[in-house]
A and B are shown apart, each in its own frame.
Chain A
């Protein structure tokens, strides 16, 4: 079974530039998550999709971050414009259904390490 695919693996940009990350979840997984993990901290949920609808984006800085999952499969996360404090690993995860259902767990991608200089 193919895992969660993310690209790029690494990205270095200057502050005020724009950047986009891509995620392809495991086939058939309806729920998709984007997390931000700052160095030395645990991941923090940015946005959760159920199919192509947003379930929770309460912690997404909407003035600069946006995400979409138009066809309910792939997803992109964009930052525009980037700030120095956006330097982090951006993790995508997917699950078959909503977490909390029996035997439902999240599967994580390799992450995209963003450095803003």
Chain B
């Protein structure tokens, strides 16, 4: 069974700060998702990656397969980035997503 751990659980930052959220998993995966969840519950997929790095606007996601670790970075953070960020690991054999418990990010103006 894949265990997915996220850190930190809660993060408060000032507008403009560089933010890093970490995700580690216990068994090999075929892909890792970073998701954003706003109050009310809806989830938006930010990235799906299986190696290297992806960038979209101010968001950057990296993954190190050997170390079983991924990071989500937000540059020049803004209050509208405030949300819960969840990583989810896709196990190759099970083809199911195992979710981390999420990181509550609050960006203060």
Chain A interface size, as a band, is: 20 to 34
* A45-B97 in contact given A100-B90, A105-B33, A105-B48 (Cβ < 8 Å): yes
**Complex CA–CA separation, A2 to B6 (angstroms):** 31
B13: Cβ under 8 A from any A Cβ: no
Contacts of B44 in A (CB 8 A): 108
B96 touches A110 (CB 8 A): no
Of chain B, the residue at the smallest CB distance from A93 is B43
| Smallest beta-carbon distance B25→chain A, Å | 12
B4 touches A111 (CB 8 A): no
- 12 extra interface residue pairs, beta carbon distance < 8 Å, beyond A100-B31, A107-B45: A42-B86, A43-B86, A43-B99, A45-B97, A48-B96, A93-B43, A100-B90, A106-B33, A106-B45, A108-B45, A110-B42, A111-B42
* A99-B90 in contact given A42-B100, A105-B33 (Cβ < 8 Å): yes
Residues of B with Cβ closer than 8 Å to A?
4, 30-31, 33, 35, 40-45, 48, 86, 88, 90, 92, 95-97, 99-102
| Smallest beta-carbon distance A111→chain B, Å | 3
- A63-94 vs B, Cβ < 8 Å mask (1 yes, 0 no): 00000000000000000000000000101010
Number of A-B contacts (CB under 8 A): 60
Contacts of A108 in B (CB 8 A): 35, 42-45
* A9-B96 in contact given A100-B31, A108-B45 (Cβ < 8 Å): no
B40 touches A45 (CB 8 A): no
* A41-B101 in contact given A108-B35, A110-B40 (Cβ < 8 Å): yes
B45 touches A45 (CB 8 A): no
A60: Cβ under 8 A from any B Cβ: no
A-B contact pairs, 25 of them (CB 8 A): A40-B101, A41-B101, A42-B86, A42-B100, A43-B86, A44-B99, A48-B96, A56-B96, A89-B41, A91-B41, A99-B95, A99-B96, A100-B30, A100-B90, A105-B48, A106-B45, A108-B35, A108-B43, A108-B45, A109-B42, A111-B40, A111-B41, A111-B42, A113-B40, A113-B41
B41 touches A110 (CB 8 A): yes
